[in-house]
Amino acid sequence: MEQEELRRAGRRLLEPAVGLLARMGIAPSAVTLAGLAVTGLASWLVCRGEWLAGAAILAAGSVLDALDGGVARKRGMVSRAGAVLDSTCDRVGELLVFTALMAGEAGRTLPVLIWLGPAALGGSFMVSYTRARAEGAGIACSSGLMTRTERLILLVASLVAAGVIGSAEPIEWMLIVVAAGAWLTAVSRLVRVFREDRLTGGYGQRA
């Protein structure tokens, strides 16, 4: 409920930018891809240990990422393919940031990130994957405590903290919290799928 209100407030805030992009005739998919490019730049900064700059660019990228849907609605270009591209780019962005943390400055200072990174990245993917698979099977499943917004806020906050105190440790704690929360969310979604699945019928599997 409150989440929905926040989302609507956010949309109103972004309305001018959405209007501008729409009037400029920019395609929503271009906005999505630009958001990913900005996340890529942020990841490069994060990898080099420039955590404050990385956090700032990451936050900027997530604003771009919030605009694509609005532009699509405004231009009457809402499409299923656009939605698939959008969430695919979200996953690629997470892959870039977590890899930057593991392989970059933070990973060198805290070798434990070689385990924490995949745990957090894997959990984040699982949250999105369980939802996508559940929806493919006709079961709605968007609940959960560690969805992308929460992950992003924790990520940016930990980068800021790391930049301010000049140590990678806040990143370690963020990865622990994200990993724990994400896996819990993924498992709870699976449990929900099993609860909701009253029908049985042939359903193809495999990827």
Q: Which of 65, 68, 86, 90 is catalytic?
A: 90
| Number of Cβ atoms within 10 Å of the Cβ of 2 | 6
Asked if 90 is an active-site residue, the reply is yes
- In the complex, the residues that contact its own copies under the rule CB under 8 A are 69, 76-81, 83-88, 90-92, 95, 98-99, 102-103, 107, 114-115, 118, 121-122, 125-139, 142, 147-148, 186, 190, 193-194, 196-197, 199-207
Catalytic positions, written as ranges:
90
